[in-house]
Amino acid sequence: MGWAIALHGGAGDIPLSLPSDRRQPREETLRRCLQIGVQALKSQKPPLDVVELVVRELENCPHFNAGRGSVLTTKGTVEMEASIMDSTKRCGAVSGLTTVVNPISLARLVMEKTPHIYLAFDGAETFAREQGVETIDSSYFITPQNIERLQQAKEANRVQIDYTQPLPQATEQETENSNGDSQIGTVGCVAVDNHGNLASATSTGGLVNKMVGRIGDTPVIGAGTYANHLCAISATGKGEAIIRSTVARDVAALMEFKGLSLEEAAASVVESVPKGNVGLIAVSASGEVAMPFNTTGMFRACATEDGYSEISIWSSKHD
Protein backbone atom coordinates (compact mmCIF):
# COMPACT_ATOMS: atom_id res chain seq x y z
CA MET A 1 0.00 0.00 0.00
CA GLY A 2 1.31 3.47 -0.89
CA TRP A 3 0.08 6.91 -1.81
CA ALA A 4 -0.91 7.70 -5.39
CA ILE A 5 -2.32 10.67 -7.26
CA ALA A 6 -3.69 11.26 -10.76
CA LEU A 7 -5.04 14.38 -12.43
CA HIS A 8 -6.66 15.21 -15.75
CA GLY A 9 -7.20 18.33 -17.81
CA GLY A 10 -9.92 16.92 -20.05
CA ALA A 11 -10.41 14.22 -22.68
CA GLY A 12 -11.49 14.82 -26.25
CA ASP A 13 -10.45 15.23 -29.83
CA ILE A 14 -6.98 16.59 -29.20
CA PRO A 15 -5.26 16.84 -32.59
CA LEU A 16 -1.89 15.10 -32.82
CA SER A 17 -0.68 18.26 -34.53
CA LEU A 18 -1.42 20.33 -31.43
CA PRO A 19 0.95 23.33 -31.69
CA SER A 20 3.55 23.46 -28.95
CA ASP A 21 2.43 26.91 -27.76
CA ARG A 22 -0.90 25.29 -26.90
CA ARG A 23 0.55 22.04 -25.61
CA GLN A 24 3.37 23.30 -23.41
CA PRO A 25 1.45 25.60 -21.02
CA ARG A 26 -0.97 22.77 -20.30
CA GLU A 27 1.79 20.22 -19.76
CA GLU A 28 3.59 22.72 -17.54
CA THR A 29 0.46 23.26 -15.47
CA LEU A 30 -0.08 19.51 -15.15
CA ARG A 31 3.54 19.08 -14.02
CA ARG A 32 3.27 21.90 -11.47
CA CYS A 33 -0.06 20.64 -10.13
CA LEU A 34 1.28 17.09 -9.90
CA GLN A 35 4.19 18.36 -7.82
CA ILE A 36 1.84 20.30 -5.56
CA GLY A 37 -0.26 17.15 -5.03
CA VAL A 38 2.74 14.90 -4.42
CA GLN A 39 4.20 17.33 -1.89
CA ALA A 40 0.87 17.53 -0.10
CA LEU A 41 0.57 13.73 0.09
CA LYS A 42 4.18 13.42 1.28
CA SER A 43 3.46 15.92 4.03
CA GLN A 44 0.52 13.76 5.17
CA LYS A 45 -2.29 16.06 4.04
CA PRO A 46 -5.62 14.18 3.85
CA PRO A 47 -6.54 13.16 0.26
CA LEU A 48 -9.63 15.41 0.44
CA ASP A 49 -7.37 18.43 1.01
CA VAL A 50 -5.00 17.26 -1.71
CA VAL A 51 -7.65 16.93 -4.44
CA GLU A 52 -9.20 20.28 -3.50
CA LEU A 53 -5.80 21.99 -3.55
CA VAL A 54 -4.86 20.56 -6.95
CA VAL A 55 -8.23 21.30 -8.55
CA ARG A 56 -8.12 24.90 -7.26
CA GLU A 57 -4.78 25.34 -9.04
CA LEU A 58 -6.24 23.89 -12.24
CA GLU A 59 -9.32 26.14 -11.92
CA ASN A 60 -7.04 29.18 -11.67
CA CYS A 61 -5.29 28.27 -14.92
CA PRO A 62 -7.00 29.82 -18.00
CA HIS A 63 -5.80 26.94 -20.22
CA PHE A 64 -8.33 24.49 -18.82
CA ASN A 65 -12.12 24.42 -18.94
CA ALA A 66 -12.85 25.08 -15.27
CA GLY A 67 -12.93 28.21 -13.14
CA ARG A 68 -11.01 30.85 -15.11
CA GLY A 69 -11.06 29.53 -18.70
CA SER A 70 -14.52 27.97 -18.45
CA VAL A 71 -16.19 27.54 -21.83
CA LEU A 72 -19.30 29.57 -22.62
CA THR A 73 -23.00 28.87 -22.88
CA THR A 74 -24.94 29.70 -26.00
CA LYS A 75 -25.60 33.14 -24.45
CA GLY A 76 -21.86 33.79 -23.92
CA THR A 77 -22.08 33.34 -20.14
CA VAL A 78 -20.25 30.97 -17.77
CA GLU A 79 -22.06 28.36 -15.67
CA MET A 80 -19.45 26.42 -13.72
CA GLU A 81 -19.96 23.15 -11.86
CA ALA A 82 -17.93 20.90 -9.58
CA SER A 83 -18.13 18.01 -7.13
CA ILE A 84 -15.99 16.35 -4.48
CA MET A 85 -16.24 13.02 -2.60
CA ASP A 86 -14.17 10.93 -0.22
CA SER A 87 -13.98 7.27 0.75
CA THR A 88 -16.43 7.75 3.63
CA LYS A 89 -18.97 8.70 0.91
CA ARG A 90 -19.26 12.29 2.09
CA CYS A 91 -19.83 14.41 -0.99
CA GLY A 92 -20.78 17.88 -2.21
CA ALA A 93 -21.67 19.38 -5.59
CA VAL A 94 -22.45 22.75 -7.20
CA SER A 95 -23.81 23.92 -10.57
CA GLY A 96 -24.69 27.14 -12.34
CA LEU A 97 -21.98 29.26 -10.69
CA THR A 98 -21.23 32.58 -12.35
CA THR A 99 -18.97 34.41 -9.87
CA VAL A 100 -17.25 31.85 -7.62
CA VAL A 101 -13.50 31.80 -8.24
CA ASN A 102 -13.03 28.20 -7.03
CA PRO A 103 -16.15 26.09 -7.51
CA ILE A 104 -14.46 23.00 -6.02
CA SER A 105 -14.10 24.72 -2.65
CA LEU A 106 -17.78 25.66 -2.67
CA ALA A 107 -18.65 22.00 -3.39
CA ARG A 108 -16.62 21.04 -0.34
CA LEU A 109 -18.46 23.62 1.76
CA VAL A 110 -21.81 22.19 0.61
CA MET A 111 -20.54 18.83 1.83
CA GLU A 112 -19.30 20.12 5.17
CA LYS A 113 -21.67 22.95 6.08
CA THR A 114 -25.10 21.92 4.79
CA PRO A 115 -27.40 18.92 5.30
CA HIS A 116 -27.47 18.60 1.49
CA ILE A 117 -25.24 17.31 -1.29
CA TYR A 118 -25.99 19.53 -4.26
CA LEU A 119 -26.72 23.28 -4.59
CA ALA A 120 -27.26 25.05 -7.91
CA PHE A 121 -27.72 28.48 -9.52
CA ASP A 122 -29.05 31.31 -7.27
CA GLY A 123 -29.08 29.13 -4.15
CA ALA A 124 -25.46 28.13 -4.69
CA GLU A 125 -24.40 31.74 -5.34
CA THR A 126 -26.19 32.91 -2.18
CA PHE A 127 -24.52 30.14 -0.19
CA ALA A 128 -21.13 31.23 -1.59
CA ARG A 129 -21.71 34.75 -0.26
CA GLU A 130 -22.86 33.48 3.13
CA GLN A 131 -19.69 31.39 3.38
CA GLY A 132 -17.50 34.32 2.34
CA VAL A 133 -15.74 32.45 -0.49
CA GLU A 134 -13.92 34.54 -3.08
CA THR A 135 -16.20 35.83 -5.83
CA ILE A 136 -15.48 38.07 -8.79
CA ASP A 137 -17.23 39.66 -11.76
CA SER A 138 -18.07 36.98 -14.36
CA SER A 139 -15.90 38.70 -16.96
CA TYR A 140 -12.85 37.29 -15.09
CA PHE A 141 -13.75 33.77 -16.28
CA ILE A 142 -14.30 34.65 -19.94
CA THR A 143 -11.16 34.36 -22.06
CA PRO A 144 -10.82 35.61 -25.67
CA GLN A 145 -10.14 32.00 -26.70
CA ASN A 146 -13.51 30.93 -25.33
CA ILE A 147 -15.33 33.76 -27.10
CA GLU A 148 -13.76 32.45 -30.32
CA ARG A 149 -14.60 28.82 -29.46
CA LEU A 150 -18.22 29.77 -28.91
CA GLN A 151 -18.30 31.63 -32.21
CA GLN A 152 -16.96 28.58 -34.05
CA ALA A 153 -19.32 26.20 -32.28
CA LYS A 154 -22.26 28.43 -33.22
CA GLU A 155 -21.15 28.61 -36.84
CA ALA A 156 -20.97 24.79 -36.90
CA ASN A 157 -24.24 24.61 -34.94
CA ARG A 158 -22.68 22.26 -32.41
CA VAL A 159 -22.56 21.70 -28.68
CA GLN A 160 -19.16 20.24 -28.04
CA ILE A 161 -16.22 19.53 -25.84
CA ASP A 162 -13.91 20.68 -28.59
CA TYR A 163 -14.71 22.64 -31.69
CA THR A 164 -11.91 20.97 -33.63
CA GLN A 165 -13.80 17.69 -33.41
CA PRO A 166 -14.18 16.44 -36.96
CA LEU A 167 -17.55 16.51 -38.65
CA PRO A 168 -18.91 12.98 -39.15
CA GLN A 169 -17.62 12.80 -42.71
CA ALA A 170 -14.04 13.78 -41.75
CA THR A 171 -11.44 11.04 -42.15
CA GLU A 172 -9.00 9.95 -39.48
CA GLN A 173 -6.24 11.58 -41.48
CA GLU A 174 -8.09 14.91 -41.41
CA THR A 175 -8.45 14.56 -37.66
CA GLU A 176 -4.76 13.93 -37.20
CA ASN A 177 -3.90 16.86 -39.42
CA SER A 178 -6.28 19.24 -37.73
CA ASN A 179 -4.33 22.31 -36.76
CA GLY A 180 -7.02 24.21 -34.96
CA ASP A 181 -7.01 25.17 -31.35
CA SER A 182 -6.55 22.38 -28.89
CA GLN A 183 -9.01 20.61 -26.73
CA ILE A 184 -9.43 22.35 -23.45
CA GLY A 185 -10.95 20.31 -20.77
CA THR A 186 -12.61 19.75 -17.53
CA VAL A 187 -10.19 19.16 -14.67
CA GLY A 188 -10.07 16.49 -12.01
CA CYS A 189 -7.86 14.92 -9.37
CA VAL A 190 -7.99 11.63 -7.44
CA ALA A 191 -5.70 10.73 -4.56
CA VAL A 192 -5.08 8.01 -1.99
CA ASP A 193 -2.80 8.20 1.05
CA ASN A 194 -0.80 5.34 2.48
CA HIS A 195 -3.61 4.45 4.88
CA GLY A 196 -6.00 3.83 1.96
CA ASN A 197 -8.05 7.03 2.42
CA LEU A 198 -9.32 8.20 -0.97
CA ALA A 199 -10.84 11.33 -2.52
CA SER A 200 -11.95 12.61 -5.89
CA ALA A 201 -12.69 16.12 -7.22
CA THR A 202 -13.90 17.32 -10.64
CA SER A 203 -14.59 20.85 -11.94
CA THR A 204 -15.76 22.20 -15.30
CA GLY A 205 -17.31 24.96 -17.36
CA GLY A 206 -19.23 22.25 -19.24
CA LEU A 207 -19.61 22.13 -23.01
CA VAL A 208 -19.03 24.92 -25.52
CA ASN A 209 -22.36 26.39 -26.68
CA LYS A 210 -24.35 24.45 -24.06
CA MET A 211 -27.90 25.59 -23.33
CA VAL A 212 -28.26 27.95 -20.39
CA GLY A 213 -29.19 25.75 -17.42
CA ARG A 214 -27.61 22.57 -18.82
CA ILE A 215 -26.03 20.36 -16.15
CA GLY A 216 -23.43 17.78 -17.17
CA ASP A 217 -21.83 14.80 -15.47
CA THR A 218 -19.21 16.70 -13.45
CA PRO A 219 -21.42 17.58 -10.45
CA VAL A 220 -23.40 14.34 -10.65
CA ILE A 221 -22.13 11.94 -8.01
CA GLY A 222 -21.67 8.50 -9.57
CA ALA A 223 -21.30 9.93 -13.08
CA GLY A 224 -18.39 12.40 -13.18
CA THR A 225 -17.12 11.85 -9.64
CA TYR A 226 -17.19 8.96 -7.18
CA ALA A 227 -15.21 7.57 -4.25
CA ASN A 228 -15.70 4.74 -1.78
CA HIS A 229 -13.43 2.50 0.32
CA LEU A 230 -12.09 0.78 -2.83
CA CYS A 231 -11.33 3.57 -5.29
CA ALA A 232 -11.76 7.20 -6.36
CA ILE A 233 -12.70 8.23 -9.91
CA SER A 234 -12.97 11.49 -11.88
CA ALA A 235 -14.38 11.38 -15.44
CA THR A 236 -14.24 13.75 -18.41
CA GLY A 237 -15.81 13.83 -21.86
CA LYS A 238 -19.38 14.22 -23.10
CA GLY A 239 -21.46 14.64 -19.99
CA GLU A 240 -24.65 13.17 -21.42
CA ALA A 241 -22.85 9.90 -22.33
CA ILE A 242 -21.11 9.80 -18.94
CA ILE A 243 -24.38 10.25 -17.04
CA ARG A 244 -26.13 7.54 -19.08
CA SER A 245 -23.34 5.08 -18.25
CA THR A 246 -22.91 6.13 -14.57
CA VAL A 247 -19.22 5.96 -15.41
CA ALA A 248 -17.57 6.69 -12.07
CA ARG A 249 -19.89 4.50 -9.99
CA ASP A 250 -19.64 1.62 -12.47
CA VAL A 251 -15.86 1.43 -11.98
CA ALA A 252 -16.38 1.07 -8.23
CA ALA A 253 -19.27 -1.39 -8.71
CA LEU A 254 -17.21 -3.68 -10.95
CA MET A 255 -14.53 -3.81 -8.29
CA GLU A 256 -17.03 -4.31 -5.49
CA PHE A 257 -19.36 -6.86 -7.03
CA LYS A 258 -17.23 -8.57 -9.66
CA GLY A 259 -13.87 -8.43 -7.92
CA LEU A 260 -12.14 -6.76 -10.89
CA SER A 261 -8.86 -4.91 -10.41
CA LEU A 262 -8.90 -1.11 -10.77
CA GLU A 263 -7.33 -1.34 -14.20
CA GLU A 264 -9.79 -4.00 -15.44
CA ALA A 265 -12.81 -2.13 -14.07
CA ALA A 266 -11.75 1.24 -15.51
CA ALA A 267 -10.94 -0.25 -18.94
CA SER A 268 -14.22 -2.16 -19.04
CA VAL A 269 -16.30 0.95 -18.26
CA VAL A 270 -14.48 3.11 -20.81
CA GLU A 271 -14.98 0.40 -23.48
CA SER A 272 -18.69 0.29 -22.73
CA VAL A 273 -19.18 4.01 -23.52
CA PRO A 274 -19.49 4.97 -27.23
CA LYS A 275 -16.05 5.76 -28.68
CA GLY A 276 -14.90 9.37 -28.53
CA ASN A 277 -16.93 10.20 -25.43
CA VAL A 278 -15.03 9.49 -22.23
CA GLY A 279 -11.80 9.41 -20.28
CA LEU A 280 -11.23 8.88 -16.58
CA ILE A 281 -8.59 8.85 -13.89
CA ALA A 282 -8.81 6.47 -10.94
CA VAL A 283 -6.79 5.33 -7.95
CA SER A 284 -7.43 2.30 -5.72
CA ALA A 285 -7.08 1.99 -1.95
CA SER A 286 -3.88 0.01 -2.49
CA GLY A 287 -2.26 2.76 -4.60
CA GLU A 288 -2.88 1.57 -8.18
CA VAL A 289 -3.59 4.14 -10.90
CA ALA A 290 -5.66 3.80 -14.11
CA MET A 291 -6.14 6.54 -16.75
CA PRO A 292 -8.02 5.02 -19.75
CA PHE A 293 -9.86 7.03 -22.42
CA ASN A 294 -11.64 6.30 -25.71
CA THR A 295 -11.11 9.79 -27.15
CA THR A 296 -8.11 10.89 -29.23
CA GLY A 297 -6.37 12.02 -26.07
CA MET A 298 -6.64 13.11 -22.48
CA PHE A 299 -4.42 15.61 -20.68
CA ARG A 300 -3.29 13.60 -17.67
CA ALA A 301 -0.59 13.08 -15.06
CA CYS A 302 0.05 10.69 -12.21
CA ALA A 303 2.60 9.71 -9.58
CA THR A 304 2.88 6.88 -7.08
CA GLU A 305 4.90 6.34 -3.92
CA ASP A 306 7.13 3.74 -5.61
CA GLY A 307 8.54 6.50 -7.86
CA TYR A 308 6.44 6.11 -11.01
CA SER A 309 5.40 9.38 -12.64
CA GLU A 310 3.83 10.24 -16.00
CA ILE A 311 2.55 13.29 -17.90
CA SER A 312 0.82 12.47 -21.20
CA ILE A 313 -1.78 13.57 -23.72
CA TRP A 314 -2.25 10.80 -26.30
CA SER A 315 -1.76 7.03 -26.09
CA SER A 316 1.85 5.94 -25.55
CA LYS A 317 2.49 5.41 -29.26
CA HIS A 318 1.94 9.14 -29.91
CA ASP A 319 3.34 10.85 -26.78
Task: Write down how long the chain is.
Answer: 319
Mapping DSSP to helix (H, G, I), strand (E, B) and coil, where does residue 128 land?
Answer: helix
Per DSSP bridges, beta strands 118-120 and 91-97 are parallel
Distance CA 304, CA 319 (A): 20
From the list 237, 276, 287, 297, which residue makes contact with ligand ASP (rule: CB under 6 A)? 237
**How far is the first Cα of the chain from the last one, in angstroms, to the nearest whole number?**
29
Q: Which of 29, 236, 246, 294 binds ligand ASP (CB under 6 A)?
A: 236
Binding mask 60-99 for ligand ASP (x = CB under 6 A): -----x----------------------------------
Q: Classify residue 89 by burial, with Cβ atoms within 10 Å: 0-12, 13-18, 19+.
A: exposed
Binders in 146-185 for ligand ASP, by CB under 6 A: 161, 185
For ligand ASP, which is the closer residue by CB, 285 or 313? 313
CA distance 7 to 202: 10
- 17-26 burial, b at 16+ Cβ within 10 Å, e below that, comes to ebeeebeeeb
Residue 295 sits in the site that holds ligand ASP (CB under 6 A)? no
Angle, CA of 310, 311 and 317, to the nearest 5°:
85
189 binds ligand ASP per the rule CB under 6 A: no
Stretch of 72-80, 136-144, 232-240, 297-305 lying at the interface with ligand ASP (CB under 6 A): 232-240
AA identity, residue 169: Q
What's the closest the beta carbon of residue 14 comes to ligand ASP, in angstroms? 11
Other C-beta atoms closer than 10 Å to the C-beta of 244 total 14
**Residue 216 interacts with ligand ASP (CB under 6 A): yes or no:** yes
Nearer to ligand ASP, 120 or 260 (CB): 120
Per CB under 6 A, the list member of 204, 245, 277, 295 interacting with ligand ASP is 204
Binding stretches for ligand ASP (CB under 6 A): 10, 65, 161, 185-186, 204, 206-207, 216-218, 236-239, 242
Hey, which residues are catalytic here? Answer: 186
